[in-house]
Amino acid sequence: MYLYNSASHKKEEFVPNHPDIVKMYTCGPTVYHFAHIGNLRSYIMEDVLEKYLRYQGYNVKRVMNITDVGHLSSDADTGEDKMLKGAKREHKTVMEIAQYYTDAFFSDCKKLNIKRPDVVEPATNCIAEYIDIVSKLLEKGFAYEAGGNVYFDTSKLDQYYVFNDHDEEDLAVGVREGVEEDTSKRNKNDFVLWFTKSKFEDQALKWDSPWGVGYPGWHIECSGISMKHLGEDLDLHCGGIDNAFPHHTNEIAQSEAYLGHHWCNYWFHVHHLNTNTGKMSKSKGEFLTVSLLEEKGYDPLAYRLFCLQSHYRRSLVFSWENLDNAVTTYQKLINKIAALDDSDKTVDQAQFDALKEKFNHALSNDLNTSLAITAVYDVLKAKTNDGTKLALLGDFDKVLSLDLLEKAAAKRAEQAKTKTATTGGYTIQGEGDPAIDALVLQRAEAKKAKNFAEADRIRDELKAQGVEIIDVPGGAQWKRV
């Protein structure tokens, strides 16, 4: 398997540090608000990566943090704590906000078939670990105290910029108009390891430390949580491209200075989901969430397919038209699978292996999910029996997680309930209830006679019985709702 490594700027063969386990760390959400669908694109692609590693036979241990303290409104250690901002907005405590939006995040993940990581650790659980790391960095001369805070000294590094092939826009995440310069820093790239009460008097969450009562910086939490659960070496670190600088850059700096050796081998960054007006964010335009998609009638798995149709290292443009196209593709795909004979249980092993090889070839080449979807269509077009096709689709869906067989089974069940009655050239499709069919036909005759009041009365009578009518050319369809 080959993956693009953001640290080396090239595709590399994936070889884990230990033959018996893949150690995978993914940056989790800052739980001060709902995750928007741009955030969730990263989690979808990380989910595919984890599932494909497992599909390939690897034993994966995946750890994710929950940021419930320390992430400021500027990623460059300035501005207000996002958690405190959320608490003020909703007149709740920081911990109430954290729990509510953590639950909301994992609810969204469930709707998108994103597997919950093996370990989910809130940042507030690991204060002792952060204090230990900061103390050692001070002892080793990689940190200093100034203005009541503890800073990492980037001038002590041979190399600070690691991900230097990213767009200037991506590297400028920490730059905000109107942000006051932190005059306590020795160097412009230095970052805070520990804040004290000297800077944020109103911070809701504070702990005792050797440097005064305060709280950890955002960057230190991922290093501390990763080392706590995955030890001193890491195979894979994942996140959105906007995390590359400064967040992941700072993680590498402090982790390797603390450990005294190389820390993480592969860096996996998912690019932005954009709108036609630019990068999606919580502060710009309509706040696009999974719940909003559902309110508008979209299946969240159609959005998952929308993401899988593009490569994770390409920016993806979201529009309602593009999502509608994904919905159409998803429905047609389910219909094609539903048309297969699910009573056929025979599998042609030679055909199975050949078609599976195409799927593996796509995903083992830098997780090319677009080609993996093409492999699904190759199965449907293949000259083999339906049992082999269904076995392959079920196998592929261990990674794609589009509920292909479940949705197809539901479609078959729906189609099995639909019965057709034709009277005088007028076709009625429904569940085969003669009484309902008769009322639908009466309504049609009333409309033909231009007795629209009677037609509306019958429609309302059926609606009161929980029956919805849809007029179609040459007849009508009805269903219970």
Span 170-182, average pLDDT:
45
| pLDDT value for 205 | 84
Q: pLDDT grade, residue 301 (50/70/90)?
A: very high
Residues 6+ apart with CB under 8 A from 34: 101, 104, 105, 108, 287, 289, 291
| pLDDT value for 319 | 94
Ranges of beta strands (E only) in 199-322 are 214-216, 234-240, 264-270, 273-275, 278-279, 316-317
Q: Can you say whether residue 250 is alpha, beta or left, with left for phi > 0 and alpha for psi between -120 and 50 degrees?
A: alpha
> CA of 303: how far to CAs of 103, 175, 266, 299, 402, in Å?
20, 31, 27, 7, 10
Q: What are phi and psi for residue 432, nearest 5 degrees?
A: 75, 30
Which domains does the chain possess? Answer: 2-270 (3.40.50.620), 290-415 (1.20.120), 418-480 (no CATH)
* 339 pLDDT above the threshold of 50: yes
| pLDDT value for 82 | 72
Q: How far apart are CA 434 and CA 331, in angstroms?
A: 30
| pLDDT value for 73 | 58
pLDDT, one tens digit per residue, over 44-103 is 999 999 999 999 999 999 999 999 886 665 555 666 667 677 777 777 777 888 899 999
pLDDT, one tens digit per residue, over 158-168 is 999 988 754 44
| pLDDT value for 179 | 40
| pLDDT value for 198 | 63
Q: Are 69 and 43 in contact (CB under 8 A)?
A: no
Q: Are 34 and 24 in contact (CB under 8 A)?
A: no
Span 213-236, average pLDDT:
96
Q: How far apart are CA 245 and CA 401, in angstroms?
A: 31
| pLDDT value for 173 | 38
| pLDDT value for 275 | 84
